[in-house]
Amino acid sequence: MTKRILVFREINDTQLASLRAEFEVDYLPHLTSFDAPEAMEILPQVHGLVGASLKVTPEVLDKAPNLEAIASISVGYDNYPVDELTRRGILLCNTPDVLTETTADTGFLLIMSTARRAIELAEMVRQGRWTQNIGKEWFGSDIHGKTLGMVGMGRIGAAIARRGALGFNMNVLYSMASSKPELEKSLGAQRLELDALLEQADIVCVTVPLTEQTEKLIGAAQFARMKPGAIFVNVARGKVVDEAAMIQALDDGTLHAAGLDVFETEPLPADSPLARMSNVVALPHIGSATHETRTAMAQRAVDNIRLALDGQPALSAVNVDALER
Ligand SMILES: NC(=O)C1=CN([C@@H]2O[C@H](COP(=O)(O)OP(=O)(O)OC[C@H]3O[C@@H](n4cnc5c(N)ncnc54)[C@H](OP(=O)(O)O)[C@@H]3O)[C@@H](O)[C@H]2O)C=CC1
Ligand SMILES: O=CC(=O)O
């Protein structure tokens, strides 16, 4: 029997052709919800899902009784009910490693553009408002030699820390992660409790996944602990932060600036204050969005679904214990 898969995010022609050579493929790259009629019609027959950014709920799984595997085109898997997938014997695959360096580049882009006010100043030039030498009211702050506080020190966190320590001579602190002796040795990184990190860091950068334990990890109390003039960067997930508290902290000057790639609600609602605050650099969730990396992520997902539906070990799976069900 030829297995059927639903691909709900854009992949390239070669990748699509390779899936079509093996499976019956429904290709809905612009699907916005599994509740859409075109998805509802297919779900009862699918054995595999490939895509990203859509919430998969237990109700969606109820509609897909033949589902064997999901290949997410993302490393984060907060859109999936992992325990429920495992209970039902459905393998969930993700795309670690291939996006680490690109997402770390984005993290550093946010660090640099907030600290040096690059977007505000570029806008001034674009609008023809550069009419005299820039005065100190437009100066930024240095990055080199400053203290970088990493909240999370996994693949992406370590890659940002490496850029900071080795490229910018930054002092690296980290929290919310198990001890990393090799990074302590190679980068001089120091592990601290979160409160101590917040009190000492000039730039706080969040890279923890969104879980029950990390939801709203950074709220009013945490912003209040940060140094005056601190910069806050989030490339993880918007819900790790209490967004209302962050807006308040940016507004009242507790927080000097924020560089954000992720938000509580995405796309960011047009009326969000974050879209207009001059001390915020807001990006539309583009951490991994380069041609090279998005191609590599899609390829990883294609490889994962082929292996998983073939009964072979996937290249990267979140819940291998699902296979024991
Ligand atoms: N903006 C974007 O486009 C992108 C955003 N992301 C986000 O970045 C996150 C991190 O990715 P990546 O670095 O590859 O992930 P890793 O799993 O390699 O790193 C996660 C880090 O968070 C720590 N951590 C702290 N609390 C928890 C918890 N409750 N559960 C799990 N880990 C915890 C881990 O600790 P320990 O070291 O002890 O394991 C680890 O240091 C993704 O989950 C995703 O949400 C990823 C890619 C692109
Ligand atoms: O946010 C992106 C991811 O890969 O996770």
Identify which ligand lies nearest to the alpha carbon of 316: 1
**Distance between Cα 77 and ligand 2 center (Å):** 8
What band does 324 get if pLDDT is binned at 50, 70 and 90?
Answer: confident
99 lines ligand 2 (CB under 6 A): yes
Q: What average pLDDT does the chain have? A: 97
287 lines ligand 2 (CB under 6 A): yes
Q: Which of 264, 282, 300 is the endpoint of a domain?
A: 282
pLDDT digits (tens, 9 = 90+) for 223-265: 999 999 999 999 999 999 999 999 999 999 999 999 999 999 9
Token reading at 223: 């912003």
**Distance between Cα 154 and ligand 1 center (Å):** 6
Question: What's the predicted TM-score (pTM) here?
Answer: 0.98
- Whether residues 146 and 250 share a domain: the answer is yes
- Whether residues 206 and 120 share a domain: the answer is yes
Rounded Cα–Cα distance for residues 117 and 112 (Å):
8
Residue nearest to atom 5 of ligand 2 (CA): 76
- Whether residues 272 and 309 share a domain: the answer is no
Atom of ligand 2 nearest to the CA of 99: 4
pLDDT digits (tens, 9 = 90+) for 136-175: 999 999 999 999 999 999 999 999 999 999 999 999 999 9
- Whether residues 89 and 9 share a domain: the answer is yes
Give percent of the chain above pLDDT 70: 100
Identify which ligand lies nearest to the alpha carbon of 283: 1
- Whether residues 27 and 153 share a domain: the answer is no
- Whether residues 142 and 67 share a domain: the answer is no
Mean pLDDT of 11-40: 97
- Whether residues 46 and 68 share a domain: the answer is yes
- Whether residues 236 and 271 share a domain: the answer is yes
Catalytic residue among 41, 266, 276, 292: 266
- At 147 the pLDDT is 98
Q: What is the 3-state secondary structure (H, E, C) of the chain?
A: CCCEEEECCCCCHHHHHHHHCCCEEEECCCCCCCCCHHHHHHHHHCCEEEECCCCCCHHHHHCCCCCCEEEECCCCCCCCCHHHHHHCCCEEECCCCCCHHHHHHHHHHHHHHHHCCHHHHHHHHHCCCCCCCCCHHHCCCCCCCCEEEEECCCHHHHHHHHHHHHHHCCEEEEECCCCCHHHHHHHCCEECCHHHHHHHCCEEEECCCCCCCCCCCECHHHHHHCCCCCEEEECCCHHHECHHHHHHHHHCCCCCEEEECCCCCCCCCCCCHHHCCCCEEECCCCCCCCHHHHHHHHHHHHHHHHHHHCCCCCCCECCHHHHHC
**Distance between Cα 202 and ligand 1 center (Å):** 21
256 is catalytic: no
CB half-sphere exposure, 181, CA atoms < 13 A: 0
Whether the per-residue pLDDT at 45 is higher than 80: the answer is yes
Residue nearest to atom 11 of ligand 1 (CA): 156
Identify which ligand lies nearest to the alpha carbon of 73: 2
Q: Give me the domain span that covers residue 238.
A: 100-282
| Bridge partner residues of 27 (DSSP) | 7
CATH number (domain holding residue 92): 3.40.50.720
Among 103, 213, 237, name the best residue to mutate to test ligand 1's pocket (greatest count of ligand atoms within 8 A of Cβ). Answer: 103
- Whether residues 31 and 166 share a domain: the answer is no
Rounded Cα–Cα distance for residues 157 and 150 (Å):
6
- Whether residues 174 and 47 share a domain: the answer is no
**Distance between Cα 261 and ligand 1 center (Å):** 15
Whether the per-residue pLDDT at 325 is higher than 80: the answer is no
152 lines ligand 1 (CB under 6 A): yes
Among 83, 176, 192, 239, name the best residue to mutate to test ligand 1's pocket (greatest count of ligand atoms within 8 A of Cβ). Answer: 176
Give the count of domains, the chain: 2
What band does 323 get if pLDDT is binned at 50, 70 and 90?
Answer: confident
305 lines ligand 2 (CB under 6 A): no
- Whether residues 125 and 259 share a domain: the answer is yes
- Whether residues 116 and 54 share a domain: the answer is no
pLDDT digits (tens, 9 = 90+) for 63-84: 999 999 999 999 999 999 999 9
How many residues are listed for the chain in this entry?
325
Give percent of the chain above pLDDT 90: 99
Give me the interface pTM, i.e. the ipTM: 0.99
